[in-house]
A and B are shown apart, each in its own frame.
Chain A
Amino acid sequence: MKAADSLLASLRRELFASRSDGVISVGLLVLIGAAVAGLLRWAFGQAQWVVIQANTTLFALGRYPLEQQWRIWLLVALLAMATGLSWGLLRANPRADRSGVLWPGNDRIAVAVLAFLAAWGPAALGLALPLQLRWWAITALLLILRWASGRWGRRLPAGLLRWVPLIWPLLYLLGMVLISGGLGLIQVPPSEWGGLLLTVLMASFAILASFPIGVLMALGRRSELPLLRWGSVLYIEFIRGAPLITLLFLGQNILGFLLPGGLAPDRVWRAAWVLTFFCGAYVAEAVRAGLASVPGGQQEAARSLGLSVPQALQHVVLPQALRIALPATVGQFISLLQDTTLLSLIGLLELLGTARTVMANPEFLGKNAEVYLTLAVLFWCCCAALGLGSRALERRLDPSNTPA
């Protein structure tokens, strides 16, 4: 095996180039090995995962009514189907195959770890059998749809393909109905949402709503109209100058004063809007950097062809600016997802809040390590998925990434 040989050779060159290198390498390897061995011994020997097994539902959904849980399962299944469909169609569409490589570099490791966790995690945690079966069924649904649409997606008429992205906003609206009720479903107020459900809901709402806010603010900051420019600068600099936790407390208290009783959104939505406006300010700065990197000649060329300012923006400047702003923007979204843990400090039972209630239960006293490790892995999975998606999108949008 030539590849293995070269890997061995390069490892030898990197780790054992000289005698002192060798000593340092061996020392570090022993340290790392001891740490990993200790972790594994603890995870498979001492750790008592019953704290997770007993509270699976709590971690996943909080106090969401048991008899209504089918709605969440249905939503997850629909999400898996939409993901499989979009993913497969993207791969079937020739544009996506520009680079040819599906997951280059370190992404392959992340994909492998994610797939491994998805397949083995539920069994390792000893979840109830029906839960495990449902989980695997949904995963299978995703993979089958991805495979099938990748195989047959190319034969669909192009006019139809253009409407496929529309399933996402529709699904989001449907998801909100499924979660909160209405249209004949029993109402489940936000105070009963919790755990991973609340975390994902808060993060996805703030991500989707903060993006247009950020783009508008970035454009406003570059506007020639003084009122618009100063308004945007004021907003961006005020938000970026205050810690999120302060803004969260402020939002909980101030919205009640500002709006008459009935109009003020409830605690959960107040927090969601604060997260949205917080993230929007940072997205605005990322987009502004993207706008600044598009040469002025692009705007001039568009205008001299007769395009109006909005047309030039929509078809020429923004597509280029947003592609450049994409990595920084997704980085912002990833930290937003992690910042949702701050919601536990204002009394919302998202993942960390739920974890704290579980650890306060006398039955599970002292099981902090198990709980925190599970939380860390869950967050890593969500962030890794976001990062993978963004890098795939980056490659897809990169015009230099086309086979000649």
Chain B
Amino acid sequence: MTASQLMIEARGVEKWYPNGFHALRGVDLSVSKGEVVVIMGPSGSGKSTFIRTFNALEEFQAGSISVDGIALSNDLRNIDAIRCETGMVFQQFNLFPHLTVLQNLCLAPVLVRKRRRAEVERQAMALLERVGIAEQAAKYPGQLSGGQQQRVAIARSLCMEPRILLFDEPTSALDPEMVGEVLEVMKALAADGMTMVVVTHEMGFAREVAHRVVLMSEGRIVEEAPPEIFFTNPQHERSRQFLAQIL
């Protein structure tokens, strides 16, 4: 693995919340180009906090993270550069309710990348086509189902043409019958070679799509293995307990 292929490199990341809670206790993770890494773990294990440090939504106090070769520091230009290259999909979708679906997609490319609106709109329509909701482009997010909203959120991230996509429990807020349509979109993205870090509890997705599964517990990574090994022959007692609970 050469250095140019490394998309995310985290070394010894430590994080304390202002209330003193030690959320991340020296976490290391490397993600190379085109890789799909699924992070699992019980709630409170720090997995969401960890993924949110990658685009500086959370600060960290010690260690280092570099994303696409750019070191995360307090330098705001670096943070803005990284945020342009990393898309993030949230559990609660976080679509902008006062804008139509199409406006949701076009806002950032026009404002941040300074691209021409007509050109961005063409690309946005193509992306909506790809996630299967082009006919909803003129509607407002509040008029869509949860699954449709999450697909719009994915398309909104893609419209910035990111090199990495971060997913923070993308299906946890969805009704069960809508989980499938979102996972389908994510599988298609993985098949296209997108670099993805996914925090999720979806076993099927992890088994089928992930190149590596990472288990976090109490702010540490306890196990890191390809899915076929992780699900059948985990090495650590903590992993066996976790799998016993969710399987």
Contacts and interface: CB of A to CB of B under 8 A. Distances in A.
Interface stretch (B91-99, B124-132, B198-206, B236-244): B91-99
B84 interface: yes
Interface in A360-404: 397, 399-400, 402, 404
B124 to A, nearest CB: 13
Q: How large is the interface on A (under 10, 10 to 19, 20 to 34, 35 or more residues)?
A: 20 to 34
B80 interface: yes
Contacts of A297: 90, 92, 94
B227 to A, nearest CB: 27
B15 interface: no
B112 A402 contact: no
A319 B83 CA distance: 23
A303 interface: yes
Contacts of B156: 305
Nearest to A309: B76
B139 A306 contact: no
A98 B244 CA distance: 52
Contacts of B80: 306, 308
B48 to A, nearest CB: 12
Interface string B63-87: 0000000000000000010011011
A298 interface: yes
B94 A298 contact: yes
A300 B90 contact: yes
A370 B31 CA distance: 82
A229 interface: no
Given A297-B94, A315-B111, A304 B143 contact: no
Nearest to B111: A311
A138 interface: no
Contact of A307 (B88, B94, B112): B112
B195 interface: no
A404 B112 contact: no
Contact of B83 (A305, A320, A323, A402): A305
A118 interface: no
Contact of B97 (A300, A304, A399, A404): A399
Contacts of A311: 111-112
Interface in B95-110: 95-98, 107-108
A185 to B, nearest CB: 43
B142 A400 contact: yes
B108 A305 contact: yes
A297 B84 CA distance: 18
A302 B84 CA distance: 11
A300 B153 CA distance: 13
A161 B160 CA distance: 30
A326 interface: no
B57 A320 contact: no
Which of A297, A298, A302, A305 has the most B CB atoms < 10 Å from its CB? A305
Interface in B178-215: none
Q: Is the interface of A mostly helix, strand, loop or mixed?
A: helix
Nearest to A296: B94
A72 B215 CA distance: 76
Contacts of A305: 83, 87, 107-108, 112, 156-157, 160
Contacts of A323: 98
Interface string B38-68: 0000000000000000010100000000000
Nearest to B159: A305
Interface string A289-330: 000000101101111111110010001100110010000000
Contact of B98 (A300, A303, A308, A399): A399
Contacts of B231: none
Contacts of B107: 305, 307, 315-316
B83 A304 contact: yes
A399 B98 CA distance: 6
Given A316-B96, A320-B98, A307 B142 contact: no
Contacts of A320: 96-98
A303 B83 contact: yes
Nearest to A319: B98
Contacts of A400: 140, 142-143
B170 to A, nearest CB: 13
A298 B157 CA distance: 14
A355 to B, nearest CB: 44
A404 B98 contact: no
Contacts of A301: 88, 90, 94-96
A160 B55 CA distance: 41
Contacts of B98: 319-320, 323, 397, 399
Contacts of B143: 400, 402, 404
A304 B55 contact: yes
Contacts of A316: 96, 107
Nearest 4 A-B pairs (CB), nearest first? A301-B94, A305-B108, A297-B94, A306-B112
21 contacts: A295-B92, A297-B90, A297-B94, A301-B88, A301-B94, A301-B95, A304-B55, A304-B57, A304-B83, A305-B156, A306-B83, A306-B84, A306-B108, A307-B111, A307-B112, A315-B111, A323-B98, A399-B97, A399-B98, A399-B140, A402-B143
